[in-house]
């Protein structure tokens, strides 16, 4: 989600609100177009630009040969105005499209029993059982193998067919035959909408060295920093001597979560600085309660590592906390703020730039100059590693294991 922005809930300056008022025809708890023209000046004195917008709306509503919906006209105007900024990170979400924005900030969901699987000869082996899922409630654990769904044996079917039998609409029931360690049992689960964890941790071994591998690529959504912290603590309890934080293809997300993630590994000091034309300069610092700095770590990145993921990566690299392995990151150096509009829609607008601890902006300039906002140079890894297309992901991980094991004392 390279267009998934850093988001902050701070109030906007009046200047930004004024832009919305111009485009929307000066909404003031309603639509001024509904106020008689002779009274509009008393309720909302208008600038020349506002008067032009209102005049066009009035002419269309009064003279167009077919009846028009003024709300739809205003919505289309807002979308066109935001699109004219040539900014891939700024969006207007009409009231009916807010589900898209919510999904970007609240994390992914699936409908089914709440597991991730690998295909094996007998059926589907559970790789992960999501917390608070039907599978977890039914006592399923990683390593279980689903061999039948109802009366249908899964052996010999395609993965898509197998998965299709297990998944289904929330509220419907599915009967599974599950084996583990030579034992078999049947159980019936009720499918549900399940939140997919954004963080996953496990112990991997490089020769005799135990390393904690932390997969974090779903985005910086609400609560994701705490989810990652739980996984970090888990692998440390399991004896991890070093940590691999995998941010490949992480599209970023909420700025607050980026600060939270960086604070897992950095005890104090600057994480990122933000500033904008109407934004005061603000320095975000680590929140404390970090793990021991003596635990070495590396971060895996690629061209899909963007936004908040870049903020975390840059902070860890520039503060000397981790080596970065992979290819250059995406290069997004701006952040957005959101404002709910009186029509029920939402404006998500680029309002400033962020700067890494050493003062670098990772994106292409454009906010101050008025040029199109584009991607920039991104973060340069400490160790360049290009993935093997025959085994996506594995080559970079093997290099990371070797580099990290060499730092374990």
- List, for residues 121-149, the tens digit of each pLDDT value: 999 999 888 888 999 999 999 889 999 99
200-335+350-407 shares the fold of 109-195: no
pLDDT at position 98 is 60
Q: Give the number of other CB atoms < 10 A from CB of residue 350.
A: 22
Task: Output the pLDDT for position 305.
Answer: 93
Which backbone phi and psi does 112 adopt, to 5 degrees? Answer: 160, -140
Q: What angle do CA 60, 64, 65 make, to 5 degrees?
A: 170
pLDDT at residue number 23: 41
Q: How many CB atoms lie within 10 A of CB 308?
A: 35
Calpha distance 278→221 (Å, rounded): 26
Give the Cα separation of 293 and 90 in Å (integer): 38
Which pLDDT score, from 0 to 100, does residue 140 have?
93
Alpha carbons 313 and 379: distance in angstroms, whole number: 8
pLDDT at 6: 39
Specify the pairing of strand 297-301 against strand 242-246.
parallel
pLDDT digits 0-9 by tens, 224-277: 999 999 999 999 999 999 999 999 999 998 999 999 999 999 999 999 999 988
Report CA torsion sign: 165, 167, 173, 175: positive
**Confidence at residue 374, expressed as pLDDT on a 0 to 100 scale:** 63
Residue ranges of the chain whose pLDDT lies below 50: 1-43, 366-370
**Cα gap 263→246, rounded to integer Å:** 16
Fold category of 200-335+350-407 in CATH:
2-enoyl-CoA Hydratase; Chain A, domain 1 (3.90.226)
State which H helix or E strand residue 318 sits in: helix 308-318
Q: Output the 3-class SS for 257-312.
A: HHHHHHHHHCCCCEEEEEEECCEEEEEEECCCCCCCCCCCEEEEECCCCCCHHHHH
**pLDDT at residue number 46:** 63
| pLDDT, position 376 | 82
Contact 16, 341 (CB under 8 A): no
Q: Where are the domains of the chain?
A: 7-106, 109-195, 200-335+350-407
**Exposure of 370 by Cβ count < 10 A (0-12 exposed, 13-18 middle, 19+ buried)?**
exposed
The structure tokens 């009274």 sit at 39
Residue 313 corresponds to which tokens in the numbers above?
A: 């990566």
* Chain centroid to CA 63: 46
Residue 50 in tokens: 């506002």
> What's the pLDDT at 3?
35
Q: The pTM is what? A: 0.72
Question: What whole-number distance in Å separates Cα of residue 353 and Cα of residue 145?
Answer: 49
Distances in whole angstroms, Cα of residue 244 to Cα of each of 6, 236, 331, 389, 403: 24, 12, 22, 21, 10
pLDDT of residue 61: 86
In sequence order, what are the beta bridge partners of 183?
180
Q: Map residue 321 onto helix, strand or coil.
A: coil
36/329 Cα distance (integer angstroms): 54
Whether 33 contacts 59, CB under 8 Å: no
pLDDT for position 37 = 45
Numbers of helices and strands, H then E, in the chain: 11, 20
Q: Which residues contact 182 (CB under 8 A, 6 or more apart)?
A: none
Question: CATH topology for 109-195?
Answer: Pdz3 Domain (2.30.42)
Residue 138, judged by CB atoms within 10 A of its CB (0-12, 13-18, 19+), counts as middle
What is the pLDDT, as a whole number, of residue 329? 93
């Amino acid at each position: 989600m390279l267009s998934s922005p850093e988001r902050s809930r701070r109030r906007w300056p009046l200047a930004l609100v004024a832009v919305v008022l111009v485009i929307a025809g000066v909404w003031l708890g309603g639509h001024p177009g509904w106020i008689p023209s002779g009274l509009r000046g008393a309720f909302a004195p208008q600038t020349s630009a506002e008067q032009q917008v209102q005049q066009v709306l009035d002419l269309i509503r009064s003279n167009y040969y077919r009846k028009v919906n003024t709300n739809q006209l205003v919505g289309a105007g807002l979308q066109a105005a935001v699109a004219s900024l040539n900014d891939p990170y700024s969006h207007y979400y009409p009231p009916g499209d807010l589900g898209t924005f919510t999904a970007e900030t609240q994390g992914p969901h699936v409908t089914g029993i709440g597991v991730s699987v690998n295909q094996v000869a007998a059926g589907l082996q559970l790789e992960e059982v999501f917390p608070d899922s039907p599978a977890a409630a039914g006592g399923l654990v990683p390593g279980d193998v689903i061999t039948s769904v109802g009366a249908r044996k899964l052996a010999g079917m395609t993965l898509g067919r197998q998965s299709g039998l297990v998944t289904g609409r929330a509220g419907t029931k599915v009967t599974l035959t599950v084996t583990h360690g030579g034992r078999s049992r049947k159980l019936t689960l009720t499918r549900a909408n399940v939140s997919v964890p954004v963080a996953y941790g496990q112990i991997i071994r490089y020769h005799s060295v135990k390393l904690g591998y932390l997969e974090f690529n779903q985005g910086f959504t609400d609560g994701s920093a705490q989810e990652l912290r739980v996984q970090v603590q888990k692998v440390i309890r399991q004896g991890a001597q070093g940590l691999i934080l995998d941010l490949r293809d992480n599209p970023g997300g909420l700025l607050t979560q980026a600060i939270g993630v960086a604070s897992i590994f950095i005890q104090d000091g600057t994480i990122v600085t933000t500033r904008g034309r109407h934004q005061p300069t603000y320095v975000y610092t680590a929140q404390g309660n970090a793990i021991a700095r003596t635990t070495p770590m590396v971060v895996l990145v690629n061209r899909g590592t963007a936004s908040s993921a870049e903020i975390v990566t840059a902070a860890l690299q520039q503060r000397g906390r981790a080596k970065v392995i992979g290819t250059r990151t995406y290069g997004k150096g701006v952040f957005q703020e959101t404002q709910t509009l009186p029509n029920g829609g939402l404006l998500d607008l680029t309002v400033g730039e962020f700067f890494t601890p050493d003062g670098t902006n990772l994106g292409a300039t454009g906010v101050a100059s008025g040029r199109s906002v584009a991607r920039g140079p991104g973060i340069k890894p400490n160790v360049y590693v290009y993935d093997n297309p025959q085994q996506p992901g594995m080559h970079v991980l093997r290099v990371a294991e070797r580099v990290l094991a060499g730092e374990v004392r």
